[in-house]
Amino acid sequence: MSDKPTILVGRKLPPAVEARLARDYNAILNTDDTLYTSEQLIELSAQVDAILPCHSEHLSADVIGKLSDRVKAIANFSVGYDHVDIEAAKARGIIVTNTPDVLSDATAETAILLMLGAARRGSEGDRMVRAQAWRDWSPSFMVGTQVTGKRFGVIGMGRVGRVTAARARGFDMDIHYYNRSRLSGDLEAGATFHDNVDSLLASADVLSIHCPATAETKGLLNAERIALLPDGAVVINTSRGGVVDDDALINALKSGKIFAVGLDVFNGEPSNIHPGYRELDNVFLLPHIGSATKETRVGMGYRALDNLDAIFAGKEPGDRVA
C-alpha cells in the first residue's frame, strides 16, 4: 500500500499535470471528464486526503460538512473560489488554495477579444457569412464602434485587471479604474483612480469587470449603475456572472443604452443562461474559456500541485485562501 497522499481530481486535466499527479500522488483521475455530483464527492471523500476541483464542482457548506475527516485540503484549479464555501472549510480545518497569476495573460487576452468582438459586431458578422446572408456592402453596412482612444474602465484592478489595462493601452485607451484601495504609482501606470464604482462608470466607454464574486459584488452592475454609463458603452465580463443583473443588462442592450456586450461568464452557466442573450445580435458570447490556453491550463495545474506539495510537506501553501 503506497504512503503517498490520495487526491481526488474533479475534472480531466492536461496530460502533463496528470502525469505529475500520478508520479507524486495516488490520484483518482476523472478520465471520462464527467461532473461529480455532490453525493459522489461526499462518498469518494472517504478515500482521499485532498480534493482538486475546478470551478464546476460546487462545494457548498452542506457538502463540506459531510466530507470525510480524512480530507485535509481543497486545492482549486481556478483563481476564483466562490464555488467553495470558505467559512465551512475553515470550520472543518480544511485548507483551501487557488491558482492566481498563471491565468492573467490568457484571461486578459479573452477580455480584449470580447471587447473587439462586441464593439465590431463580430458574432453577428460571423453568423452572416456562415449563413451566406452577406449580400452587399455600403457605408452603413455592419457599422460598429471604435475602441481606439476611448476610455477603458476597469472594476477590480488585481492581476488580471492590470494586465487587461496594459493590453488596452495598446489601443491608446485612457485607463480608469476602481479598486478597493488605490494602487501604487508603478502599478497604476498613469491610470485614473476612482474611489467608488459610480464615479468610474461615468468615465467608461468600455467597462471591463474583473472583481471577484462575493456577497458585496452580487448584482453590482444593475439598472441604476448601467444608467451611469455613457450612452453606447461596451460592457465586457470575464470575472463571474453573478456580478451582473441579467435583466437590467438585457434591457439596456435592447434600448441601445449599451451598444454591445462581450461575456465569457454567466449566471446559471452552462445550462441555465438567461435566454435573452441568445436572442440579441449585439452580444458576443464565449463559453467561459478565459484561461483556455494550453500554456495556462498546465500552469494552473502545476500551481495547484505546488500548493498540495507544500501542504503535505507540512509547509504553508503559497496560495492559501482559507
Query: Concatenated DSSP letters for 182-215?
Result: PPPHHHHTTPEEESSHHHHHTT-SEEEE-----T
- The Cα–Cα gap between 281 and 236 comes to 15
Catalytic site includes residue 176: no
Task: State how far the Cα of 265 lies from the Cα of 238, in Å rounded to an integer.
Answer: 6
CA–CA separation, 34 and 318 (whole Å): 29
Which residues, in sequence order, are CB contacts of 132 under 8 Å at separation 6+?
none
Sole residue written with cell 491565468:
103
**Burial class of 32 by CB neighbour count within 10 A (0 to 12, 13 to 18, 19+):** exposed
Task: Output the CA–CA distances (angstroms, integers) from residue 235 to 179, 201, 230, in the order listed.
Answer: 18, 11, 11
| Coil, helix or strand at residue 166 | helix
| 279 is annotated as an active-site residue | no
Catalytic residue of the set 182, 269, 274, 320 = 269
- Give the three-state DSSP class for 252: helix
Of the residues 162, 210, 225, 240, which is catalytic?
A: 240
Between strands 283-285 and 6-9, the pairing is unpaired
Strands 233-237 and 206-209: parallel
Among the listed residues 20, 83, 120, 288, the single catalytic one is 288
- Alpha-helical segments (H) within the chain: 15-24, 38-44, 61-66, 86-92, 104-119, 122-130, 159-169, 185-188, 197-201, 223-226, 246-255, 294-312
Strand order in the sheet with 258-263: 192-194, 174-178, 151-155, 206-209, 233-237, 258-263, 283-285
For cell 444608467, name the residue: 227
Q: State yes or no: is 269 an active-site residue.
A: yes
Residues marked as catalytic: 240, 269, 288
